[in-house]
């Protein structure tokens, strides 16, 4: 009889299970790789490339063809004209060729030396083009009867062109200009400061307001469900709807908030809430708090409701006042969820783009790093610089995440 021994290594069952697991995960992994990993690599690549928005379309040969002069009777001598140009002002095109079919009944009288004619086909080799090159080929032809009879015009057979151009996205030109540009000057410091202000105050504010709301609703009474639902509204509504509602509410000319403040005598003149430094930054931070307090409220409330009530009864018996109970019993119990929420919200507020973009478009001193990506890439049309900002953001996030993973492993729950 063989010696009995516990199995060593992975058995066939475990292997099968692992295979199944990878099979089940594969679609997700593939999708995530396609849309997260690849773009991230692309961002790194692009950030070292001098790419502008216009470069996304590769340079090409643009061609117009027409016939000039009379071609109404036999013996007329019109000219076929080809006008060609390089669509790009910066990129050369090499090996440009053009080919066309000359309609029947047109006899070529004189041929450009770069072109050859074989039968009805015309082939021209136009060589290498510098950026912005323009060329005009004119071919005088004589009209014969067949041309007038079959009614085919030179434009009816579209001429084809070829040419190779190097695409700036795939060639081997690299530059550090993008980084030099975004780190340059006071602008970057201001963007960083605005991001920090927005993130820190937005996060802390949303947490504190959420805590207050959770304290209010942490007792059962009639209508608690309704109020809980109501307090979630800002988070559930589409951001674009609430952002525009805020803009209209705080409009400097016809906004109700201004009318109200003037009427109450708080201010004499209308305040341009979203157009003045530093008020605009404060307003977008307030908007962030308003929109995301429901989230922290929900989590804190869920945690509060799982705290054992006996503890409070015991504290009551021992004479602890309500504030003491809150400070010495509730706060320590909530510390875990509060710190997890703080870390998560911090990162997500840092990532936030839509809110500021819709409220101010990054004007009036509210340009955060994320808005700067859009600003560089689309407003200034410098995709490379936008990508460089994105790389900076990613670097910050990586730092946060390492810290976060270290920390969150100690916190159960989330």
Partner 1 sequence: MIRRGYLTGPVLGALWMVVLSVTVAVCMSFATGDPFRPGILLSLAWGALAGGAMVFAGGVKLVQIGIAVLVAVLGLAGIGPMLSGSDAGLAARLFGAVALAAAFAMSLAPILDEVVPGVLTRHEFEGAVIRFLTGFGYIFFTAIVLIPFYVMVMTSLKNQSELMQNPLDFSVDVGRGAELFRSYNELFTQFNFGTYLLNSFFISVLTVFITLVFAIPGAYAIARLRFRGQAAFSRSILLIYMVPMIVLALPIYIAFSMTGLRNSFWGIVMIYPVTTIPVALYMLQGYFRGLPGEVEEAGLMDGLSRLAVIWKITLPLSLPALASVSLYVFMIAWNEFLLAFMLLDDPAKFTLTRGIAALNSSEIPRQHLMAGSVIATVPIMALFLGLERFMTKGLTAGSVKG
Binding residue for partner 1 (CB under 8 A) from 94, 116, 322, 328?
A: 322
Q: What residues numbered 238-297 form the site for partner 1, per CB under 8 A?
A: 238-242, 244-246, 248-249, 251, 253-256, 258-260, 263-265, 290-292, 295
162: enclosing H helix or E strand? strand 160-164
Give min distance, CB of 266 to partner 1, in A: 9
- For partner 1, the closer of residues 76 and 251 by Cβ is 251
CA–CA distance, 50 with 54 (Å, rounded to integer): 11
If the CB atoms of residues 104 and 225 are measured against partner 1, the closer one turns out to be 225
Q: Give 67 or 344: the residue with its C-beta nearer to partner 1.
A: 344
Backbone angles phi, psi at 137, to 5 degrees: -105, 130
Site string for partner 1, 380-399 (x = CB under 8 A): ---x--xx--x--xx--x--
Kindly tell me which of 41 and 109 has the beta carbon lying closer to partner 1. Answer: 41
Considering only residues 2, 268, 310, 323, which one is a binding residue for partner 1 as defined by CB under 8 A? 323
| Type and span of the H or E element at 129 | strand 121-129
CB closer to partner 1 out of 149 and 183: 183
The closest of 131, 136, 159 to 60, measured between CA atoms, is 131
User: C-beta of 100: minimal distance to partner 1 in Å?
Assistant: 27
Give the separation between CA 11 and CA 28, rounded to whole angstroms. Answer: 27
- Residue 385 DSSP SS3: helix
How many residues sit close enough to partner 1 to count as binding (CB under 8 A)?
Answer: 100
Choose which of 115, 283, 341, 364 interacts with partner 1 (CB under 8 A).
Answer: 341
Q: Please report whether residue 411 would count as binding partner 1 according to CB under 8 A.
A: no
Residue closer to partner 1 by CB (options 42, 335) is: 42
Using the rule CB under 8 A, which residue among 63, 67, 298, 307 binds partner 1? Answer: 298
Q: Nearest-CA neighbor of 413 among 350, 339, 349?
A: 339
Cα–chain-centroid distance for residue 153?
Answer: 48
Considering only residues 362 to 381 of the shown chain, the ones binding partner 1 according to CB under 8 A are 370, 373-374, 377
Q: Decide whether 34 or 77 has the Cβ nearer to partner 1.
A: 34
As measured in angstroms, the least distance from the Cβ of 87 to partner 1 is 16
13-72 residues near partner 1, rule: CB under 8 A: 14, 17-18, 20-22, 24-25, 27-28, 31-32, 34-36, 38-40, 42-43, 46, 56
Residues 205-224 touching partner 1, rule: CB under 8 A, are 212-213, 215-216
Using alpha carbons, select from 187, 191, 167 the residue that is nearest to residue 50.
167
Minimum Å gap between C-beta 160 and partner 1 is: 21
Rule CB under 8 A: choose which of 52, 344, 363, 379 binds partner 1: 344
Measured from the CB atom, the residue of 135 and 288 that comes closer to partner 1 is 288
Check residue 345 for interaction with partner 1 (CB under 8 A).
yes
Report whether 74 contacts 143 (CB < 8 A).
Answer: yes
Q: In what order do the strands lie in the sheet with 61-68?
A: 61-68, 79-86, 134-143, 106-108
Alpha-helical regions (H) of 275-382: 279-305, 310-317, 322-325, 331-351, 354-359, 369-374
Query: In angstroms, what is the minimal distance from the CB of 139 to partner 1?
Result: 36
C-beta closer to partner 1: residue 258 or 366: 258
For residue 392, give Cα distances in angstroms to 44, 192, 321, 405: 10, 11, 49, 20
By CB under 8 A, name the one of 74, 107, 109, 237 that touches partner 1: 237
Q: Which residues ranging from 111 to 170 are in contact with partner 1 (CB under 8 A)?
A: 169
Structure tokens at 61: 């040969």
CA 385 vs CA 35, 176, 239: distances in Å? 21, 10, 27
For residue 236, state whether it binds partner 1 (rule: CB under 8 A): yes
Q: Based on CB atoms, which residue is closest to partner 1, 39 or 278?
A: 39
Distance of alpha carbon 69 from alpha carbon 106, whole angstroms? 13
- b/e for 326-353, b at 16 or more Cβ within 10 A? eeebbeeebeebbebbebbbbbebbebe
Q: Are 82 and 137 in contact (CB under 8 A)?
A: yes
Q: Is 314 in the site for partner 1 (CB under 8 A)?
A: no
Tokens of 208: 């504190």
Minimum CB separation of residue 392 from partner 1 in Å reads 10
Task: Please tell me whether residue 299 binds partner 1 under the rule CB under 8 A.
Answer: yes
Taking the least distance from each CB to partner 1, the nearer of 18 and 180 is 18
Instruction: Calculate the dihedral angle through the C-alpha atoms of 4, 7, 13, 14, rounding to the nearest 10 degrees.
Output: 170
Report the candidate in 337, 371, 381, 367 with the shortest Cα–Cα distance to residue 351: 371
């Amino acid at each position: 009889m063989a010696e009995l021994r516990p199995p060593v290594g992975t058995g066939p069952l475990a292997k099968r299970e692992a295979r199944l697991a990878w099979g089940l995960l594969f679609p997700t992994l593939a999708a995530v790789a396609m849309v997260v990993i690849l773009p991230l690599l692309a961002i790194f690549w692009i950030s070292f490339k001098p790419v502008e928005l216009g470069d996304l379309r590769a340079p090409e040969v643009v061609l117009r063809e027409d016939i000039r002069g009379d071609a109404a009777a036999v013996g007329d001598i019109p000219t076929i004209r080809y006008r060609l140009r390089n669509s790009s002002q910066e990129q050369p095109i090499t090996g440009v060729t053009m080919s066309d079919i000359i309609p029947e009944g047109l006899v070529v009288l004189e041929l450009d030396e770069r072109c050859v004619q074989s039968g009805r086909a015309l082939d021209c080799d136009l060589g290498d083009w510098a950026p912005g090159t323009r060329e005009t080929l004119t071919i005088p032809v004589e009209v014969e009867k067949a041309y007038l009879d079959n009614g085919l015009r030179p434009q009816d057979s579209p001429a084809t062109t070829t040419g190779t151009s190097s695409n700036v996205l795939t060639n081997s030109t690299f530059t550090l200009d993008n980084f030099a540009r975004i780190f340059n000057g006071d602008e970057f410091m201001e963007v960083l400061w605005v991001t920090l202000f927005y993130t820190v105050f937005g996060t802390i504010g949303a947490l504190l307001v959420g805590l207050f709301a959770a304290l209010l609703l942490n007792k059962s009474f009639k209508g608690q469900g309704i109020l809980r639902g109501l307090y979630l509204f800002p988070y559930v509504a589409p951001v674009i709807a609430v952002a525009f509602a805020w803009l209209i509410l705080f409009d400097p000319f016809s906004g109700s908030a201004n009318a109200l403040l003037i009427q109450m005598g708080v201010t004499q003149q209308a305040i341009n809430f979203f157009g003045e430094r530093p008020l605009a930054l404060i307003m977008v931070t307030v908007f962030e708090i308003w929109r995301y307090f429901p989230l922290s409220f929900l989590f804190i409330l869920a945690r509060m409701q799982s705290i054992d009530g006996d503890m409070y009864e015991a504290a009551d018996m021992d004479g602890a006042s309500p504030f003491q109970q809150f400070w010495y019993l509730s706060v320590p119990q909530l510390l875990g969820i509060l710190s997890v929420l703080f870390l998560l919200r911090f990162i997500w507020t840092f990532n936030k783009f839509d809110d500021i973009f819709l409220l101010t478009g990054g004007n009036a001193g509210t340009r955060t790093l994320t808005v700067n990506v859009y600003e560089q890439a689309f407003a200034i049309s410098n995709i490379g610089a936008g990508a460089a900002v994105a790389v900076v953001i990613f670097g910050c996030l990586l730092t946060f995440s390492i810290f976060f993973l270290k920390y969150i492993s100690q916190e159960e729950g989330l």
